[in-house]
């Protein structure tokens, strides 16, 4: 009965062995020439600046982009199970998914029209 889990356990063992090997070998094969640019913190291409202890203010655009990503990411999460069970759901499943995709498309069109996808 447990023989069906042998491939999964083998895959986990292989992944763990690869991770341990990579961590153990990295100091020996990695680059050894360090300079100031490589030791500095990298912040998405923006030069890091000193900020007060309270932190800087982020534009709302970052949060809107994050929310858009979450909305469309959740759409994909709902589409995968539907694609797997498409045959079993029949016409009702197709209609429900068309309504769902139509609703998400309306949200996308609204955001696009309002300029939520444009970086100023």
Question: For residue 91, is it within any domain?
Answer: yes
Domain coverage including residue 64:
3-113
> Is pLDDT of 4 > 70?
yes
Long-range contacts of 75-82 (CB under 8 A, 24+ apart): 75/100, 75/101, 75/104
> Is pLDDT of 91 > 70?
yes
Long-range contacts of 44-53 (CB under 8 A, 24+ apart): none
Contacts of 57 (CB under 8 A, 6+ apart): none
Question: For residue 100, is it within any domain?
Answer: yes
> Is pLDDT of 7 > 90?
yes
Report the pLDDT averaged over residues 111-116. 82
Burial letters for 59-92: b for 16+ Cβ neighbours within 10 Å, e otherwise?
Answer: eeeeeeeeeeeeeeeebeeeeeeeeeeeeeeeee
What would the pLDDT profile of 11-64 be if each residue is shown by its tens digit? 999 999 999 999 999 989 987 787 877 777 766 666 666 665 556 666 677 777
The number of distinct structural domains making up the chain is 1
Question: For residue 120, is it within any domain?
Answer: no
Beta strands per DSSP E along 37-119: none
Question: For residue 74, is it within any domain?
Answer: yes
Question: For residue 118, is it within any domain?
Answer: no
The backbone torsions φ and ψ at residue 93, rounded to the nearest 5 degrees and listed phi first, read -65, -40
Helices 86-114 and 60-84 cross at an angle (nearest 10°) of: 160
93 neighbors 82 (Cβ within 8 angstroms): yes
pTM greater than 0.75 (yes/no):
no
Question: For residue 8, is it within any domain?
Answer: yes
Question: For residue 119, is it within any domain?
Answer: no
């Amino acid at each position: 009965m447990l023989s069906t889990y042998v491939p999964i356990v083998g895959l986990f063992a292989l992944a763990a062995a690869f991770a341990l090997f990579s961590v153990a070998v990295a100091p020996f094969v990695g680059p050894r020439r360090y300079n100031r640019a490589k030791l500095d913190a990298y912040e998405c291409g923006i030069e890091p600046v000193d900020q007060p202890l309270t932190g800087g203010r982020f534009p709302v655009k970052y949060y809107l982009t994050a929310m858009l990503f979450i909305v469309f990411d959740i759409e994909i999460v709902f589409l995968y199970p539907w694609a797997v069970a498409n045959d079993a759901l029949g016409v009702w499943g197709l209609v429900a998914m068309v309504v769902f995709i139509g609703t998400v498309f309306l949200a996308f069109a609204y955001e696009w029209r309002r300029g939520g996808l444009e970086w100023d």
